[in-house]
Amino acid sequence: MGRTLVLGGGGVTGIAWELGVLAGLREAGLDLSAADTVVGTSAGSVVGAQITSGAAIEDLYARQLRPPDGEIAARLHPGVLARWAWAFVRERDPRRARARIGRMAHAGSGSSVAERRRVIASRLPSVQWPRTDLLIAAVDARTGERAVFERTTGAALVDAVTASCAVPGVWPPAVIGGRPYIDGGVHSTSNADLAAGSGGVVALCPIARGAGPLPGPADELAALEASGARTALVSPDAAAVAAIGPNVLDPAARAASARAGRAQAPAVAERIAGVWGRE
């Protein structure tokens, strides 16, 4: 049945925290990059593409500790979140609500599509799809349907990751095959249901809870457990929450978030080993 690693959304600090946890677990003898399947959403799509590229996790972790020279902090403003919430209140159908959010996605975008694509490409060690089954979640901005990109769907890896990270109101939608796509977190912060059929599922989720109609990772993992999977959910502990801070899009908090993730890893290693097994 195989093992699946689920990597949830959570901004640039989420990328750093996830890589910190992965580096700490690798040090403890648990190599989660050896998963049969990796599911990535938003920040998790970046980490998924990184760890399946063949790059050493320790090197990826070390990159998170570099000073954020020249990087500009973005912010998900309360007004944007309010418009998201209103979309779900106004539309009883979550799919139609996501489409409404898709229509407002250009408002407040802080960069061009080309510029955003360059930023994402700079974070990936390889622009080729890996041999590992990597599933990247996004949302069709026109229909509100979830889209899942993988190596056979025809989308370039950079474009798939750019789509999954296209936070509405912050970054512009990514265009794939002539269609605009927005952040996969608008459907679910983890999209852990894509791990259905796996025997063991470990989910690293910087955002531990759902909101309104958006399912939380614990609910999605509970459904997988009901079908017979072994699961483990890891989210930031109190120290990591403090390191991440109030703005998950601030690169100044990246190094502290990575260190906090690594420091947290020993406390969760045995629980994960019970699901994953040791190499």
Rounded-to-5 percentages of helix, strand, coil across the chain = 45, 15, 40
The confidence score (pLDDT) of residue 68 equals 87
The confidence score (pLDDT) of residue 26 equals 97
Look at residue 85 and tell me whether its pLDDT is greater than 70. no
- Could you tell me which of 42, 87, 85 has the C-alpha nearest to residue 217? 42
The confidence score (pLDDT) of residue 107 equals 52
CB 109 within 8 A of CB 75: no
pLDDT tens per residue, range 244-262: 999 999 999 999 999 999 9
Catalytic hit among 33, 42, 45, 190: 42
Q: Is 188 part of the annotated catalytic residue set?
A: no
pLDDT tens per residue, range 30-81: 999 999 999 999 999 999 999 999 999 999 999 999 998 777 777 766 666 6
Q: Over pLDDT 90: what percentage of the chain?
A: 76
CB 191 within 8 A of CB 184: yes
CA distance 184 to 163: 8
The confidence score (pLDDT) of residue 71 equals 75
Q: Which residue has the higher pLDDT, 203 or 105?
A: 203
CB 278 within 8 A of CB 41: no
The confidence score (pLDDT) of residue 74 equals 79
Look at residue 89 and tell me whether its pLDDT is greater than 60. yes
Q: Over pLDDT 70: what percentage of the chain?
A: 90
CA distance 148 to 155: 10
Query: Alpha-carbon torsion 38, 133, 138, 194, what sign?
Result: negative
Q: 176 in helix, strand or coil?
A: strand
E strand map for the chain: 3-7, 37-41, 133-140, 146-149, 174-176, 179-183, 200-204, 230-234
Query: Alpha-carbon torsion 251, 255, 258, 260, what sign?
Result: negative
Catalytic hit among 140, 159, 183, 250: 183
If DSSP states are collapsed to H, E and C, what string results for 239-261? HHHHHHCCCCCCHHHHHHHHHHH
CA distance 235 to 224: 18
The confidence score (pLDDT) of residue 278 equals 60
Look at residue 16 and tell me whether its pLDDT is greater than 90. yes
The confidence score (pLDDT) of residue 132 equals 95
Over range 181-205, report the average pLDDT.
Answer: 96
CA distance 159 to 8: 18
Mean pLDDT of the chain: 91
The confidence score (pLDDT) of residue 196 equals 96
- Report pTM: 0.94
Q: Is 42 part of the annotated catalytic residue set?
A: yes
Q: How confident is the model at residue 99 (pLDDT cuts 50, 70, 90)?
A: confident
Scored b (16 or more CB within 10 A) or e, 93-123 reads ebeebbbbbbebbeebbeeebeebbeebeeb
The confidence score (pLDDT) of residue 66 equals 94
pLDDT tens per residue, range 198-227: 999 999 999 988 766 778 899 999 999 999
Look at residue 106 and tell me whether its pLDDT is greater than 60. no
